[in-house]
A and B are shown apart, each in its own frame.
Chain A
Amino acid sequence: DSGVTQTPKHLITATGQRVTLRCSPRSGDLSVYWYQQSLDQGLQFLIQYYNGEERAKGNILERFSAQQFPDLHSELNLSSLELGDSALYFCASSVVADPSYEQYFGPGTRLTVT
């Protein structure tokens, strides 16, 4: 157990809908990263927050957004869902903002868009 929690574990929804994925980092970690893992794309970095502020952006679609709250938990919002958004979404946390320190991954949320 990495100490990072993610809810829900599974999510099934229809195209065009909007969902919110939640992540709670390890106690003491200020940095939260979001990744998308699909079969053909591997682990794709989406976005990073550090202490409430956006720190780095990766291949995140405009339909996706995220935020980190004062209690340091983070939410990833996915809207106008398409079939291609079906994937495993991981969040990871780290003590510092620098990506060259160990990131601890949560168990992931499996999103299925039908």
Chain B
Amino acid sequence: GENVEQHPSTLSVQEGDSAVIKCTYSDSASNYFPWYKQELGKRPQLIIDIRSNVGEKKDQRIAVTLNKTAKHFSLHITETQPEDSAVYFCAASATGDGGATNKLIFGTGTLLAVQP
């Protein structure tokens, strides 16, 4: 079935360094790729998303890249700060009749720890 793999499961960086989280998806019809941030004990919140008609999107210190050929997408956080510490989830969905993934499939999450 549809699957989204996410790596690494945990990531520890020093404050000010960059962090990269990678995901791969199985459904080639997937065309929407959001990233959610979940702080401890809180709800997941959308931080950035990308659609299949673009290869990169940036919003201040965060960016997402998409490689449709390889079916993978990545989250990049630059100049990390302690408040970036959280679990990050990638997800993928397909819309329209061409995709089996007519729902949002989440990766297993990455626990990011930013050390001051």
List the interface of chain A (C-beta within 8 A of B).
2, 33, 35, 41-45, 48, 56, 58, 90, 98-100, 102-103, 105-108
CB distance from B113 to the nearest CB of A (A): 17
Known: A43-B44, A90-B43, A105-B43. A99 touches B32 (CB 8 A): yes
Contacts of B32 in A (CB 8 A): 99-100
The one of B42, B51, B95, B108 in contact with A42, judged by C-beta atoms closer than 8 angstroms, is B108
CB distance from A60 to the nearest CB of B (A): 11
Contacts of B107 in A (CB 8 A): 42
Contacts of A90 in B (CB 8 A): 43-44
Q: How far is the CA of A76 from the CA of B50 in the complex (A)?
A: 31
Contact assessment for A99 and B108 in the assembled complex, using a CB-CB cutoff below 8 Å: no
Contacts of B34 in A (CB 8 A): 102
The 5 A-B pairs with the shortest beta carbon distances in the complex, nearest first, are A100-B32, A105-B43, A43-B106, A42-B108, A99-B93
Contact assessment for A98 and B95 in the assembled complex, using a CB-CB cutoff below 8 Å: yes
Closest partner residue, chain A, to B107 (CB atom):
A42
Q: In this assembly, does B89 line the interface, its C-beta being within 8 Å of a C-beta of chain A? A: yes
Q: How far is the CA of A42 from the CA of B9 in the complex (A)?
A: 11
Q: How many residues of B contact A (CB 8 A)?
A: 22
For chain B, residues 42 to 64, give those with C-beta under 8 angstroms from any C-beta of chain A.
Answer: 42-46, 49, 51
Contact assessment for A56 and B43 in the assembled complex, using a CB-CB cutoff below 8 Å: no
Known: A43-B89, A102-B34, A105-B44. A56 touches B103 (CB 8 A): yes
Q: In this assembly, does B11 line the interface, its C-beta being within 8 Å of a C-beta of chain A? A: no
- Choose among B42, B43, B93 the residue with the greatest number of A CB atoms under 10 Å from its CB: B43
One digit per residue, 1 when the CB lies within 8 angstroms of any chain A CB and 0 when it does not, for chain B 103-116 equals 11111110000000
The 25 sampled A-B contact pairs (Cβ below 8 Å) are A2-B45, A35-B106, A42-B107, A43-B44, A43-B106, A44-B106, A45-B103, A48-B103, A56-B103, A90-B43, A98-B95, A99-B32, A99-B95, A99-B102, A99-B103, A99-B104, A100-B32, A100-B51, A100-B93, A100-B95, A103-B46, A103-B104, A105-B43, A107-B42, A108-B43
Contacts of A58 in B (CB 8 A): 103
